[in-house]
A and B are shown apart, each in its own frame.
Chain A
């Protein structure tokens, strides 16, 4: 079966019972996605499929044949970090680091949902044209990723700095 993983093509045979998470970790040796709960409750296994964030533990790998899968390894590497990875380091967005690859993939998927105008549970009017990435929206939209070390403040700061209003404002003033 064929997949596109972190920009490369992969051809691999496996038992149809294999979850996408197990395929990535055990067969492709991508250890970024983590097995926290293995039942959809923690977000540590979050990866991007065609740019959309999903829990790889609740998916059978066969469901995602032919699709484009990105794990944290595909976002940036030491020496060439993704800006969000750098911001996590800067803001102490982790302690043990177990939830971090899931947090980072999730945040990237979250920002793309925001750009497409997907509302959230805390949006005052679901029919609004667009939604701000303020503190409440950010926390609600990231609630599928738990951090047992409680590094939430750093996580929020890192995402806010990379994608939030502050960033949008500074880009505007740079352009001016």
Chain B
């Protein structure tokens, strides 16, 4: 680890003042940043500890839930309002990492954990994220876990978060503070595809601080599910995950949400599949057609082509089960 100055911020103004200095980085739970600092992949000169800021979950007048960036993953998954109104968000968080990590990891840190792969940690390997224009050893290497959608020649890593996939399906909005004021960005536009600059993973600007995310009420809670497929039953990153929800009106799909994890550099909202399904019948044939339309652009690498078929099956099966199930 390279040396750094540690500062604890007791309020947002102090955090922003400290965080806009050269070489500063915010520290929340530390479960991603401390690890990367130990590997000297991240070398902040000033660590601004923001743990304890924005640690509330509040109801808004519009019936939304405003979730603070400093809320722990366990606290969010266990919140009664979340469990009842947005069960897929609880399910997604509980499908990620381990209890020990969820007890420490925060909402802000979970969104901003690095989009990475095994080669990113390996200083004997070439990685464009670690060193601009170095090349990417994953493109033609061991890439079983890598992206099938939206990847570039520069980077084929996937965003590791489960929570963010559910938030993408729920149309969550990210609230951002800076010294100039605040702005809000839909979560689906917060993370970016790798293109030629894979070291840039979000639209967050230097010094900006995430205050939290807002989730608005929807009609899908009763028929929604986060489903994660991975190499072992627990405590592994997703090969494919799906956050899906259906709202039915008579025999017709009134609203449908589908977001995919493990497939791209960002949580992937399946807008093509959603558009194909809205207003139509909830049949297996319709789900198959929609999944295929979404995955038409998918490309397999040496080891991960199986993910395309796996994603298709997980989407179809999850939606079929939601269509068949009674409303809770």
Within 8 A of B (CB), among A105-140: 106, 109-110, 113, 116-121, 123, 125-127, 139-140
- Docked CA distance A55–B35 (Å): 12
Within 8 A of B (CB), among A29-52: 38-40, 43, 46, 52
Once A58-B31, A58-B34 are accepted as A-B contacts, the answer to whether A144 and B101 lie under 8 Å apart by CB is yes
What is A's interface to B at a CB cutoff of 8 Å? 16-17, 19, 38-40, 43, 46, 52-55, 58-60, 62-63, 106, 109-110, 113, 116-121, 123, 125-127, 139-141, 143-145
CB contact between A126 and one of B5, B91, B101, B235 (< 8 Å): that residue: B91
List B contacts of A54 (CB < 8 A): 100, 103-104
- Docked CA distance A87–B34 (Å): 35
Tell yes or no: B58 within 8 A of A by CB: no
Majority secondary structure, A binding face: loop
The smallest C-beta distance from B266 to any residue of chain A, in angstroms, reads 23
- Docked CA distance A144–B104 (Å): 13
- Docked CA distance A60–B80 (Å): 31
List B contacts of A52 (CB < 8 A): 103
Tell yes or no: B99 within 8 A of A by CB: yes
- Contact assessment for B74 and A118 in the assembled complex, using a CB-CB cutoff below 8 Å: yes
Which residue of chain B lies nearest to A56 when distances are taken between CB atoms in the complex? B100
- Contact assessment for A127 and B100 in the assembled complex, using a CB-CB cutoff below 8 Å: no
List B contacts of A143 (CB < 8 A): 98-99, 233-235
Tell yes or no: B301 within 8 A of A by CB: no
CB contact between B1 and one of A17, A125, A139, A144 (< 8 Å): that residue: A17
- Contact assessment for A63 and B234 in the assembled complex, using a CB-CB cutoff below 8 Å: no
Tell yes or no: B6 within 8 A of A by CB: yes
CB contact between B104 and one of A17, A59, A110, A125 (< 8 Å): that residue: A59
Tell yes or no: B291 within 8 A of A by CB: no
- Contact assessment for B35 and A17 in the assembled complex, using a CB-CB cutoff below 8 Å: no
